[in-house]
Amino acid sequence: MDAAQSPRTRTTLRALALWALAPMAPAAAAERSLDEVLELHATAVLPAATFDGAREELGERVWTQPAVGLRATVHPIENSYIRFTTLFYPVPTLREGWTPDFVYSVGYGDWRPRHAFFDHSNYTGSRWPWREGSPPAVHWALGLNTVGWRYELPAGAMRALHAPEQLWLGGAAMAHYALAYGKIDGTEGQHLLAFSNNLSLSWREHVFGEFRGYWYPIAEQQQVWDPDYTWSVGWMDWRPWSLSVRWSNYAGNRWAGHGLEGNGGLGTGALFIDFKAGLQAGPRASSSRRASTPR
């Protein structure tokens, strides 16, 4: 038997997780399995060619950096999360100043429709203190705060569309705010505000597609890398010991007729391959989570 799957190891891991979470929610944590309290993921990010921000004025197309991420998510109480991801770059010469050593998120929200949620995420160029030539930095003010409301297409509308039972349509309406944001000239702006609507399609729970449109009420806050819309398609599996694959495009895509320059396009997406580990032995539990999550 693998040591990681031995009863003693599983019992020890569960005890440590529940001990750490006990001050926050002892009763709630004790009723859940270890896999419901702690999630471990490994993700490979394989980007396509995209515009490098430093060479953007030259119109030069370069390869962005591939990355490998190790992510741990703790759920102190049900529907809450504290997520930390450390990133590794196999080709250091392709790194840029804004690529982070680590990212983090905290939030609360039910994934089911007709529920609100909150998320605070920071994807800026955070640095480890031992990084040579780079002072340790966590740009707290650049973290993005998101509040939203999940919804789904009513059953009557689905019947009117003659949609099959295995098809689910829904989404989330969101408002985003950050104390500060980076600008193309290297300076920082204050009080970024944006709104978005995410439309999601799920087939048999695992095959999904998403399309999100953005609106910036203060037009000059939108930078060349800030998108008018993003999209993603793939296969999602939330169960332990499972693999998820998706193609996502978060670049500065532009609506036709939008005068602002952007760095998006069909060739500026990335392939994400994600493996979710399991901390408990036994059959994988089924899941009915949808693919719509705040980013």
Rounded-to-integer distance, Cα 25 and Cα 82, Å: 14
At 22-74, the pLDDT tens digits run 444 444 445 778 888 999 999 999 887 544 443 443 334 344 678 999 999 99
User: What is the reported pLDDT for 25?
Assistant: 46
Q: In the block, which residue shows the tokens 């003010």?
A: 141
- Secondary structure of residue 222 in the 3-state scheme: coil
In the block, tokens 């599996």 appear at 237
- SS3 for 66? coil
Query: Smallest Cα–Cα separation from 215: which of 199, 225, 224, 226?
Result: 226
Reference 189, options 226, 214, 222, 144; nearest CA is 222
What's the confidence (pLDDT) of residue 4?
A: 47
Q: Do the beta carbons of residue 204 and residue 166 sit within 8 Å?
A: yes
Burial of 136-170, coded b for 16+ CB within 10 Å and e otherwise, reads eebbeebbbebbbebbbbeeeebeeeeeeeeebbb
* Residue 259 pLDDT greater than 60, yes or no: yes
Q: How confident is the model at residue 286 (pLDDT cuts 50, 70, 90)?
A: very low
Residue 236 has pLDDT above 90, yes or no: yes
Domain boundaries 3-276, corresponding CATH code? 2.40.230
Token pair 């399991």 is found at: 278
Q: Residue 135's pLDDT is what?
A: 63
Please give the pLDDT value at position 261: 72
Helical H runs in the chain?
A: 7-21, 26-30, 34-37, 155-160
Flag the least confident range among 97-106, 203-212, 231-240. Answer: 97-106
Report pLDDT for 263: 64
Domain ranges in the chain are 3-276
Q: How many angstroms separate the Cα of 12 from the Cα of each of 97, 121, 176, 219, 278?
A: 40, 31, 40, 53, 15
Summarised one tens digit per residue, pLDDT across range 80-131 is 999 999 999 888 877 777 788 999 999 999 888 999 999 999 988 888 888 7
* pLDDT recorded at residue 159: 83
pLDDT single digits (tens) 138-182: 888 889 999 999 999 888 888 888 888 888 899 999 999 999 998
Residue 191: predicted pLDDT: 96
pLDDT, position 65: 77
Distances (CA, A) of 129 to 86, 103, 136, 242: 14, 14, 4, 34
**Which amino acid, one-letter code, is at 180?**
A
pTM of the model: 0.78
Res 9: pLDDT: 55
Given a cut of 50, is residue 209 above it in pLDDT? yes
Q: What's the rounded mean pLDDT across residues 279-292?
A: 51
